A = this chain, B = another copy of it.
Amino acid sequence: MNAPVALDAMGGDHAPRETVAGALAAAAAGVPVVLVGDEARLREELAAQGGELPIVHAPEVIDMHAHATEVRRRRQASINVAMRLVKEGEAEAAVSMGHSGATMASALFTLGRVRGIERPAILAEIPSQAPSGRVHLIDAGANADVRPAHLVQFARMGAAYAERMSGVARPRVGLLSIGEEPTKGNQLVLEAHPLLAEAGLHFVGNVEGRDVLADAADVIVTDGFTGNVVLKLAEGEAKILFGWIKEALASSFKAKLGALLAKDALRRLAARMDPAEYGAMPLLGVRGPAFIGHGASDRRAVRNALARAHKMARSGLVEALAAVE
């Protein structure tokens, strides 16, 4: 089966220019891609960029200010058409840099949930000191309020992803809390701890904020409120610290000269910390690979997201999750 990855080519702040450019780059790297969106507009963009890709026409688009409830009503919106292609086996995965809430809603009602998963969750990969070079944070924002049993489901999905997508054998699962002892945490964490200990996972207990980027766990489980704050803080702090480093390096002639010499090394590090490195985040627990990217995504993020979605489709992860229960 060689179904392509469906890209919601109209989604995102810089669509369709960056989505098309990213899709062409992914296709050049061997990822099969189909563009979903306004056909005339996409043909025009492809011609301007001197490339060719298959297109599935979708006359509508859910813009960034739309209410997520519009998703159900607007059947011909590009995100819905992309998800339907996955549902019908015409695409192996869907990727959107558009409205996150709309993408989640579309994935949920078009693809449906994996059996045994009550709450699909977003998994974020954050560069860390773990051997795989990243920590897998779940839930990064899909569910603001959850119950202890949901955290166990998140843990299962996160561990399966770390294993199949990042090649981590027997991933260490940590529960995000405010102290290492099982007696530390809020009510949710206190109740989830014993459930996680008995879930048959490689549970390493509570981890703290300072452990997120350290080599304490491969998978960190938390509610979608805390997870979203953690993800955005981790990204925002890296950006601000690099800004301060730039300022510091411009503060004297000697420092400037040093900065010039160290430029390549620092640039590689900044690229590693750039969210575009991962491109987009999977919504785990729906029946098909669905990836949600930053609205601000550039072509590099789009290309990396498409490659990741393709990899997940071939990893058998969705089927593995369905087989758990």
How far is B226's CA from A236's CA once the two chains are assembled, in angstroms?
A: 16
Instruction: Report the count of interface residues on A (CB-CB < 8 A).
Output: 58
A197 contacts chain B at the CB level, 8 A cutoff: no
Smallest CB separation, A131 vs chain B (Å)? 15
A3 at the B interface (CB under 8 A): no
Asked, given contacts A178-B141, A210-B233, A237-B237, whether A257 binds B266 with beta carbons under 8 Å apart, the answer is no
Given A210-B235, A211-B236, A214-B240, the answer on whether A225 and B262 have CB atoms closer than 8 Å is no
Cα-based distance from A232 to B259 in the complex (angstroms): 29
Q: Counting CB contacts under 8 A, is A205 at the interface?
A: no
B262 engages A224 (CB within 8 Å): no
A195 within 8 A of B: no
On whether A232 and B248 interact (CB within 8 A), knowing A255-B262, A258-B259, A261-B258, the answer reads: no
Contact bitstring A152-183, B, C-beta under 8 A = 1, else 0: 00000000000000000000000011100000
> Of B234, B258, B273, which one neighbours A262 at CB under 8 angstroms?
B258
Q: Which A260-295 residues sit within 8 Å CB-CB of chain B?
A: 260-266, 268-269, 273
A319: Cβ under 8 A from any B Cβ: no
Q: Are A265 and B237 in contact (CB under 8 A)?
A: no
B228-A248 in contact (CB<8A):
no
Task: Give chain B residues whose Cβ lies under 8 Å from the Cβ of A259.
Answer: 258, 262
Q: Does A109 contact B (CB under 8 A)?
A: no
**Contacts of A241 on B, CB cut-off 8 Å?**
237-238, 241, 273
Q: Chain B contacts of A266 at CB under 8 A?
A: 245, 248-249
7 pairs of A and B residues whose beta carbons are closest in the complex: A209-B232, A258-B261, A258-B262, A210-B236, A209-B233, A144-B186, A255-B265
